[in-house]
Structure 1
Amino acid sequence: MFDQRIVCAFLYIISKYGYPPQAEMTTKHLEEMKALGFTSVELEGIREEHLMAVYENRHTFAEKLKSLELSVPYFCVVLPGLSSLDDQEREKQLALFEKGCEIAKLYGAKGVLDNAPLPPYQFPADIPVVRHYGEDVIASAFLPHDVSWDHVWSTLIETYRIACDIAARYGLTYHMHPAEGLLASNTDAYLYFHDAMKRDNLRFTLDTANQFAVHDNLALSMIRLKDHVDYIHISDNGGKKFEHLAVGDGKIRWDIFLETLQRVDFKGHLGLDIGGDESAVPDLDRAYRDAAEWLERDYLD
């Protein structure tokens, strides 16, 4: 079994079963991640329908986690609608967020995680159900002409302060995950957002592939964010597009990155976040096992 600091991220399940996968199959998903050799796993509640299905089955899943001796250090509560400018929609999303925190607390998680805020774009249809908002999706988005950015920013800060406070009531940290098109897609953007938020439990999930793709120097990012990062998503990237490759199949200098983790005395979790339909990973199981063995050998040993 792999060290508990090494987490099988939920992207493993998404890569096999789609986005979002069927929530009712979570017990099977847990068995699969355990069979790979993991003792720590990441779970998600993705928007209202999927999140509520997880919520309704939360006690069953908690018992399964206990029987398999699996821990869930971080639970992802994916709610892009939190950035809505509609008051009723935000209230609804915050209520869903609290249910996500309730699930996380039941699972014994340290924190909840979501993508960083999406600007209140309008799309030709509803907000697309995708993991990452790629160039084509972002290109189709627009802000209405009557929207004031000052109003957008103050509304976002108010909403996410409430979310942080909800998480704090459950004893949880609230982690922002960077991705293309979001308001905390790199180190500078997150620090700007953090300074405005003024909430001690706001954290950053460093994502090696996503940040490498936007040319955010990973070593420098880790040094600057050492007091903000408890959880890192690990996957490789070729530097030209958003992809989550097996470690060693991209251009990330892992020797420099691991040395930097030692330099800042990083003690948090490392989530293997390999795969997705945007990535060429011919043997998913092997990619996860190889990466876990590499971390144990080259970093944790």
Structure 2
Amino acid sequence: MSRVNLAWLYAITKYGYPPSIGDMYKAVDDAARLGFKAIELEVFGEKNLVEVEEHKKVLRDYIESKGLKVVNVAAIFPELLSADERTRERGLEYFRRTAKLATYFNALMTQTDTFTPPIEFIERKPYSTTIAFGERYRVRIPANFSWRSFWKMLVDVMKRCALIAKDHGLLLAVEPRVGETVSNSDAMLRLLDEVNEDNFGAVLDTGHLHAAKELIPLSIEKLGNKIIYVHISDNDGRDNYHWAPGKGTIDWDSVFEGLKKYGYSGYIAIDVGGPDIKDRLDDEVLIAKKFVEEMGRKHGLW
């Protein structure tokens, strides 16, 4: 049986960010209708966290009634990397509560981001209000900004998150994302080495890495068995679009050969979406699902 699940980008694209609790139920319906047996969930911000906590039993029962398994419950709280220590502690408490939710939903892992560093973005800022791809950014570095101090704080926070996840029997995954603090596989590798917890691993996100001009098979070589989750999408190698695989320029045989080489046995999430394909979202997701299932069989992943 293939290990292909639906990423939360589908729900974000269709219902907004974050989806309301009512729309979360609709996203579950969508996943089942599209033939998936597993999904990921995401919690963004305190309001969304409280909503999911209040509805957790009904939501879990509903997910199970649709024959779906929850693979991952992502904890997306920018407070985690605030310059203010009290705000960071509040973010860590939100993360702890999300880890508790992940165990309640019988998930394998939780996930978080490294967010944008505290520099000044002129006009647009990545992922500030919604998911937008193909943007251009201009930045200004504040006079009092210290990269080394910020990195040290990032490592400390991620280590604490990894230990919280471990206490809940979970893996913790982070993905390099265009425009964020960790935006490529080398930065991810450095973070993995410095956090140095056995439950802390990387998401191989093909869309983000390809848009960052990475050679994805080489990224797999660098990260190796620290890849604990995969997000699959395609683009033209220039803009950070998230199209169905085969619609862009990624060398997919080499990607799957790399995953096979390192014995990857986790889930592969269909991470297709964005405003440019919203009007044909279901078709793109079904194309992606069929493509990944066939490539997985071709290369012996399942």
Q: Same fold per TM (> 0.5)?
A: yes
State the partner residue of 1:294.
291
C-alpha separation between the residues in 2 aligned to 1:258 and 1:157? 30
How much has 1:37 moved relative to structure 2?
0.3
Change (3 A) 1:130 1:282: closer
Unaligned runs of 5+ in 2: none
CA RMSD of aligned residues (A): 2.2
Q: Which residue number in structure 1 is paired with residue 233 of structure 2?
A: 235
Residue segments in structure 1 that go unaligned for 5+ positions in a row? none
- Preserved CA contact (<8 Å) 2:235 2:248: yes
Letter in 1 for 2:110: V
Q: Report if aligned partners of 1:74, 1:110 keep a CA contact under 8 Å in 2.
A: yes
Residue of structure 2 aligned with 1:179, choices 177, 180, 185: 177
Runs of 4+ aligned residues of structure 1 deviating over 6 Å after TM superposition are 124-127
Match of 1:139 in 2: 138
Distance in 2, matches of 1:149 and 1:207, equals 25
Which residue number in structure 2 is paired with residue 21 of structure 1?
Answer: 19
Q: 1:4·1:39 contact (CA, 8 Å) conserved in 2?
A: no
Counterparts of 1:241-252 in structure 2, within 5 Å, are 241-252=239-250
Change (3 A) 1:230 1:82: same
- What is the correspondence of 1:133-282 to structure 2 with a 5 Å cutoff? 136=136, 138-140=137-139, 142-277=140-275, 279-280=276-277, 282=279
Amino acid at match of 1:284: L
Structure 1: which amino acid aligns with 2:263? D
Shift of the alpha carbon at 1:265?
2.1
Where 1:240 maps in the other structure, the secondary structure is coil
Q: Is the 8 A contact 1:281 1:287 kept in 2?
A: no
> Are the aligned partners of 2:117 and 2:181 in contact in 1 as well (CA < 8 Å)?
yes
Alpha-carbon distance between aligned partners in 1 of 2:70 and 2:169, rounded to the nearest angstrom: 15
The equivalent residue for 1:130 is 130
Q: Distance in 1 between matches of 2:19 and 2:282?
A: 18
Letter in 2 for 1:129: T
What is the deviation of 1:55?
1.8
Q: Is the 8 A contact 1:134 1:180 kept in 2?
A: no
Residue 27 to residue 208, structure 1, CA distance change in 2 (3 Å): same
TM-score (norm 2): 0.90
Would you say the 8 A contact 1:116–1:184 is kept in 2? yes
Q: What is the rounded CA distance, in whole Å, between the counterparts of 1:12 and 1:284 in structure 2? A: 8
Residue of structure 2 in register with 1:284 after alignment: 281
Residue 249 of structure 1, CA deviation: 1.1
1:33 alignment partner AA: A
Three-state SS of the structure 1 residue aligned to 2:257 is helix
Q: Which residue number corresponds to residue 53 of structure 1? A: 51
Pairwise CA distance, 1:110 = 0.9
Please give the alpha-carbon distance, in whole angstroms, between the structure 1 residues aligned to 2:128 and 2:134. Answer: 11
What are the superposed Cα offsets for residues 263-300 of structure 1, whole Å, 9 maximum, x if unpaired? 222111100000112x4465211221222222222323
Q: 1:135 to 1:35 in 2, by over 3 A?
A: closer
Q: Do the aligned residues in 1 keep the contact of 2:5 with 2:267 (CA within 8 Å)?
A: yes
CA distance in 2, matches of 1:62, 1:262: 33
Deviation at 1:118, TM superposition (A): 2.9
* 1:44/1:121 CA distance change after superposition, 3 Å: same
How far apart are 1:23 and its partner, in Å? 2.3
Pairwise CA distance, 1:114? 1.7
Instruction: Report the TM-score, using the length of structure 1 for normalisation.
Output: 0.91
Q: Which amino acid aligns with 1:166?
A: I
Task: Give the Å deviation of 1:134.
Answer: 7.1
